[in-house]
Amino acid sequence: MFNDKTAVITGGARGIGRATAELLVAGGARVLIADLDADAVSETAARLGGDVVAWSGDLTREGAADALVAAAADAFDGRLDIVVNNAGYTLDAPVHKLSDADFQAMLDIHTIVPFRVLRAAAPLLREPAKAERAEGREVFRKVVNVASLAAYGNAGQANYSSAKSGVIGLTKTLAREWGSYKVNVNAVAFGVIDTRLTAPKSEDTTIDVGGRAVAVGIPERAKAAMSAMIALGRAGTATEAAGGIAFLCSPWSDYVTGQVLNVSGGIAFGMGA
């Protein structure tokens, strides 16, 4: 399904990003996986085999998104067919305890980074369509932004919810701007997926973000409460989550753009999700 396609996946070393890379590589794609953790992304690239390139860096840094896209252009001879913006993490707290820095950090990784990556990738996604249009051909390219049902409101996640709402707005705007270039721009919104971000919260489970140890996971009681609201009765797997992304990267979604695909097992967060 992905033969002769090239893809960039951010947050590709673990969890949903890695599972997405596995599906695309299995389908014949050449993939660049990007991650903050240099060791993990190198290990994942080696494990995936195929035509996989590892890139590591902090995408919130000035110029990092441009460097990422430049690396993809070099690796893929100037071609880019698929961009999956998946990198992210959480910094949870109620509004009255949220710092400016923690609010901004969520906007940076979940909204500003996808914007910068797509701005840098724009020439690779848009320019080929001009020649293809002149030749009377339609060649679809794909953008998938990872959102969350938390975008519709989730207690304790005002920063994350705001950032994920922002990426949905970015998705719908780019779908309008890039539709004439045959670029499908969609988002996938997850509910509870089993990754290290939703594992039982522990002070021992942290990720390093700019030299700061950030605890990841959610309290077991909170996860149990959310799981009880899932119509299918359990959290999703990373592979099941990646299936939604892969669909939006595939030819089956050529007539789908500007949409948010909920992959949640039937859970509803917030009000009106």
Q: Where are the alpha helices (DSSP H) in the chain?
A: 15-26, 38-48, 64-75, 100-107, 113-134, 158-178, 220-228, 238-249
161: Cβ contacts below 8 Å, ≥ 6 apart: 148, 150, 151, 152, 153, 154, 270
pLDDT at 195: 80
Residue 13 Cα distances to 20, 205, 245, 255, 260, angstroms = 10, 17, 16, 30, 24
Average predicted confidence (pLDDT) for the chain: 92
Residue spans of the domains in the chain: they are: 6-191+237-263
Gyration radius of the chain's alpha carbons: 18
Pairing of strands 141-148, 52-56: unpaired
pLDDT at 154: 87
Q: Does residue 252 carry a pLDDT above 60?
A: yes
Q: Which two tokens stand for residue 231?
A: 């119509």
Amino acid letter for position 63: G
Taking the C-alpha atoms of residue 67 and residue 134, their distance in angstroms, rounded to an integer, is: 31
Q: Does residue 269 carry a pLDDT above 90?
A: no
Mean pLDDT of 234-244: 95
The string of pLDDT tens digits covering residues 16-47 is 999 999 999 999 999 999 999 999 999 999 99
| Residue 170 pLDDT level (bands cut at 50, 70, 90) | very high
- Cβ neighbours, 10 Å, residue 117: 26
Query: Mind telling me the catalytic residues?
Result: 160
The string of pLDDT tens digits covering residues 101-160 is 999 999 999 999 999 999 999 999 999 999 999 999 999 999 999 999 999 988 899 999
Mean pLDDT of 67-78: 98
pLDDT at 197: 66
Mean pLDDT of 202-213: 69
- Strand-pair partners of 260: 187
Which tops the pLDDT comparison, 161 or 204?
Answer: 161
Q: Does residue 178 carry a pLDDT above 90?
A: yes
**DSSP code at position 55:** E
Q: Does residue 166 carry a pLDDT above 60?
A: yes
| Residue 209 pLDDT level (bands cut at 50, 70, 90) | confident
Residue 119 Cα distances to 27, 128, 139, 187, 193, angstroms = 27, 16, 20, 17, 29
The CATH code for residues 6-191+237-263 is 3.40.50.720
